[in-house]
Amino acid sequence: MSLTLGPNRPLSSTAPATVNYELHGPAHRLFFDPFPRRIRAFLGGEPVVDSVRAMLLHESNLMVVLYVPREDVLARLTPTEHSTHCPFKGDASYWDVTAGGRTAANAAWGYPDPRPEAAWLEGYVAFYWDAMDAWFDEDEETGGHPRDPYTRIDVRRTSRPVTVSAHGEVIAQTRRALVLSEGHLPNRFYVPREDVPAELLEVSATHSYCPYKGQASYLHVAGVPDGAWYYPQPCDGVGLIRDHLAFDGDGLEVRVSGEPVETGMPPRS
């Protein structure tokens, strides 16, 4: 599970009710934690970041953010007039990032004079993940934000009956589904692709990336655009979901043992 993202997480603004302790301090919590491996970023084919001293900022209700020491930034940073204010961290300055003959505008930020309670941010720089061409965790390229080490994914086989309907018509039934539990997100039920009539599926050009599961491809389902997604080459640890489909979209409903379940479609690009 994530420490910060989602309701009732240990460092979210809303404390869990099922604990025998109290956390004394601000409701909005910050936790600066070492990233355990080498991290690199590239722009225009040239290195922008190369660090074994990166840190992860866990912040209540927000996704984890990677920061690196300014000395580990290899590209040219040009100050801009853009700035933002965070009541918990202070005033952020921004920089254009130039490497490989290209410039990414306002692609990096940091807190030159952070608030006293976040003084450890001084000297660190963060980057918009998608402003760089490529990121590497050690020697493996990653297509999205860094993994939160406190987020866990479990995949389990289930014999409970899973039914998928489109506009009220049943399009798939199975007792061979997989249930995927991921952090604060609702359980997602993955149906074997062979249990869905092929004539109801149409290949989509849409893709998305999850640092925990891999590159997702999409399908139009029974007239519902991008109503299903799957992982052709899932990450280590979730290989069971290969050749299985998850569903979400207007007009689609997933029921488990006759009860509707909450779905959730990953961000698409």
Per-residue model confidence (pLDDT) at position 43: 97
- Residue 192 lies inside a defined structural domain of this protein: yes
Residue 12 has pLDDT above 80, yes or no: no
- Domain harbouring 125, CATH code: 2.170.150.40
Q: Domain residues for 190?
A: 153-260
Give residue-wise pLDDT tens across range 58-95.
998 888 899 999 999 999 999 999 999 999 999 999 99
Q: What is the C-alpha separation between 146 and 64, in angstroms, rounded? A: 8
Of 142, 170, 199, the residue at which a domain comes to its end is 142
How open is the CA angle 11-237-257, to the nearest 5 degrees? 80
Give residue-wise pLDDT tens across range 143-195.
777 788 888 899 999 999 999 999 999 999 999 999 999 877 889 999 999 99
- Residue 114 lies inside a defined structural domain of this protein: yes
Q: Which residues pair with 181 in a beta bridge?
A: 154
Residue 268 has pLDDT above 60, yes or no: no
- Residue 61 lies inside a defined structural domain of this protein: yes
pLDDT band (50, 70, 90) for residue 6:
low
Per-residue model confidence (pLDDT) at position 24: 73
- Residue 135 lies inside a defined structural domain of this protein: yes
- Residue 10 lies inside a defined structural domain of this protein: no
How much is the average pLDDT of 102-114? 98
Q: What are residue 74's phi and psi, to 5 degrees?
A: -95, -20
Of 81, 109, 142, the residue at which a domain comes to its end is 142
> Is there a single domain that holds both residue 113 and residue 186?
no
Would you state the structure tokens that stand for residue 254, as one six-digit string?
């997933």
How much is the average pLDDT of 214-226? 95
Calculate what percentage of the chain has a pLDDT beyond 70. 94
pLDDT band (50, 70, 90) for residue 8:
low
> Is there a single domain that holds both residue 248 and residue 158?
yes
Q: Bigger pLDDT: 15 or 215?
A: 215
- Residue 268 lies inside a defined structural domain of this protein: no
Q: Which of 54, 47, 12, 267 has the alpha carbon at shortest distance from 144?
A: 267
> Is there a single domain that holds both residue 174 and residue 96?
no
> Is there a single domain that holds both residue 86 and residue 132?
yes
> Is there a single domain that holds both residue 201 and residue 133?
no
Handedness of CA 139, 145, 150, 155 (dihedral sign): negative
- Residue 267 lies inside a defined structural domain of this protein: no
> Is there a single domain that holds both residue 172 and residue 136?
no
Q: What is the C-alpha separation between 140 and 28, in angstroms, rounded? A: 33
Residue 267 has pLDDT above 60, yes or no: no
Task: Please state, in angstroms and as integers, the Cα–Cα distance from residue 119 to each residue in 59, 94, 112, 123, following that order.
Answer: 15, 18, 9, 10
Of 142, 177, 203, the residue at which a domain comes to its end is 142
- Residue 3 lies inside a defined structural domain of this protein: no
Question: How crowded is the C-beta side of 97, counted as CA atoms within 13 Å?
Answer: 28
Q: Bigger pLDDT: 77 or 5?
A: 77
Calculate what percentage of the chain has a pLDDT beyond 90. 75
Q: Bigger pLDDT: 267 or 53?
A: 53
Per-residue model confidence (pLDDT) at position 269: 43
Per-residue model confidence (pLDDT) at position 263: 67
User: Across the chain, what does the average pLDDT equal?
Assistant: 91
Q: Bigger pLDDT: 205 or 24?
A: 205
Q: What is the C-alpha separation between 173 and 192, in angstroms, rounded? A: 10
Number of domains comprising the chain: 2
